Amino acid sequence: MGAITEQAPKVFGTQEELDRVEQLWGREVLDDPRIGYNHLVTTSCFLPRTDPGDKGMWERRDGGLVMTMTRGPAMNPRTGEVVLMGYPFGIWPRRFHSILNAEILRNRSREIYCPNGFCDFFGRRLNGKQGKHGKALLSGGRTGNITQMKTQFASLVAANFVFFIRNELKMTMVYPGRLIETMELWFQGEEEFFPGVFRASQVYVESLVEHAVPIDLNASACIRSSLEYDIYTWVARRVYSMVVLNQKIVRIPWDALLFQFGKSYGSNQRVFKQEFRNAVAHLRSHVYLDLNFRETLTGWELRVGPLAVEKKLFGGGVEPRQQSLKF
């Protein structure tokens, strides 16, 4: 076998498909390593924040956007045993998802090459960033998080997804199944197991090209919880939509926010409201500094402002395009 490198081949397909990607986003945006992407559906229909356990199917919806997810199998590389993975949950599957999407779009390729192991691949893309309380985002040893992160990554790539996008004209079902359809897993020593190459689902890539929402990976490294991550990606998409649709203000009542973000809190609305306030305050002070999102007597008010991905990151900036918001 030849040496694995990170220069992925151009395997989107035709030149027309490659041109489509650059038309929607612009070369300077796609090539910037500080920018990650979320699929439109996952900016409103979020992954679990806590372990759902043995639940048969995970479902989240927001208006005409619906995401369903079921657990999938994976093989234990040490024993060869096939096991049913748990659901991906918490902040790390969210970070992995944004990074993988960025790799797909940046390389204009379904194939992602990972020659030097888990920590090297994600660590360099997170650029050694510091998280909560100034701790390194990736850490090993007895008190580290790398083992947990590898489990969450395996759960994410094993899970099976179905997206539904519905408006007044039509309903679209996107069945990417697994986000990663094939993996080649290479053994690196006795303890290190990581894909040398994995390939994203063609159906998922086609949907991602049309429905990608950019986020600032540098800023997102300061996010402390999955609730903050969900709010950040949600407002990033809402502000982008407001710019495209020429909206100035969107008012969201507490009931709508509770439905969107607070299902895991059950009837404990007081705790949810306080944690939501704390999350928005941290986003405004550390992550999305230009976010104009404030509490009112009945809920919250979002005003149009600068995009979550600041223009200064990549010179020319992101110009919102109507055709990139077909939902």
Q: What is the pLDDT of residues 286-295, one digit of tens each?
A: 999 989 999 9
Bridge partners of residue 74, in order along the sequence: 83
Alpha carbons 196 and 115: distance in angstroms, whole number: 5
Q: In this structure, is residue 6 part of a structural domain?
A: no
Question: Cβ contacts of residue 218 below 8 Å, gap of 6+?
Answer: 34, 127, 129
Q: In this structure, is residue 69 part of a structural domain?
A: yes
Q: In this structure, is residue 48 part of a structural domain?
A: yes
| Average pLDDT of the chain, as a whole number | 77
Q: In this structure, is residue 10 part of a structural domain?
A: no
User: Helices 91-107 and 118-126 meet at what angle, rounded to 10?
Assistant: 80
Q: What is the mean pLDDT of residues 152-164?
A: 90
- What does the block give as tokens for 159? 């899970």
Alpha carbons 254 and 273: distance in angstroms, whole number: 8
206 has pLDDT over 80 = yes
Q: In this structure, is residue 4 part of a structural domain?
A: no
Tell me, what's the pLDDT at 94? 93
131 has pLDDT over 50 = no
Bridge partners of residue 231, in order along the sequence: none
Tell me, what's the pLDDT at 29? 55
Q: In this structure, is residue 263 part of a structural domain?
A: yes
Give me the amino acid identity at 196. G
Q: In this structure, is residue 1 part of a structural domain?
A: no
Give me the amino acid identity at 226. S
Q: In this structure, is residue 46 part of a structural domain?
A: yes
- The predicted-structure confidence for 238-275, as pLDDT tens digits, reads as follows 988 888 888 999 999 999 999 889 887 877 888 999 99
CA dihedral (317, 120, 77, 195) positive or negative: positive
Which of the two residues, 278 and 217, has the higher pLDDT score?
278
**In total, how many domains does the chain have?**
1
Range of the domain at 313: 15-324
- pTM, rounded to two decimals: 0.80
- The predicted-structure confidence for 27-43, as pLDDT tens digits, reads as follows 555 566 678 888 888 88
